[in-house]
Amino acid sequence: MNPDKTESHDWLCMYAGTLRIQGLRDEEIFYFLLAEFNGTPYLWGGSSPDGSDCSGAVCACLNAMFLKSIRVTADCLFRRYFTRKAEGYDGIQAVFFLNNEGRAVHVAAYAGDGLFMNVSRLEKSGGKARNYDELGEMYPDFLMVRRKLEASKWA
């Protein structure tokens, strides 16, 4: 973990580059980047390990991987970038929480080993890796939908 995250975006990009040089696959790089959000305080509109909301964490990791600067909502991630149904746990994916109108109001990205990084105001000690069932218990009023990233749309 980076002890001084004042330049979080640059640091995440360098970290992603280091992981890529080591020969890791994109999904593995994504998992390592997501781990940087463990314990991250919830900050609406934030997108760094210093403070983030749910979509900010996902965007920050994807931006570091693909050297982009895209910042969108959970609903935009769901509709524009994570457009393929997830079956199994391969590839970069996330679980989206849909309200009664079908709008994604929350997202937790898959971090490997059956866990999703949940950066939410409901997490009292900051971002935390949770399994699918735990997330269902935390957000019982929402439809949970797993989707895979269409990488060509972000890259």
Provide the pLDDT confidence category of residue 106 given band limits of 50, 70 and 90: very high
Cβ contacts of 8 within 8 Å, gap of 6 or more? 2, 48, 49, 50, 60
62-83 pLDDT per residue, tens: 999 999 999 999 999 999 999 9
Task: For residues 121 and 132, give the distance between their C-alpha atoms in angstroms, rounded to a whole number.
Answer: 18
Provide the pLDDT confidence category of residue 3 given band limits of 50, 70 and 90: very low
Task: For residues 13 and 33, give the distance between their C-alpha atoms in angstroms, rounded to a whole number.
Answer: 9
CA 10 to chain centre: 18
Residue 137 identity: E
Is the whole model's pTM more than 0.85, yes or no? yes
3-state secondary structure of 124: coil
CATH number for the segment(s) 8-154: 3.90.1720.10
Task: For residues 44 and 56, give the distance between their C-alpha atoms in angstroms, rounded to a whole number.
Answer: 9
Structural domain boundaries in the chain: 8-154
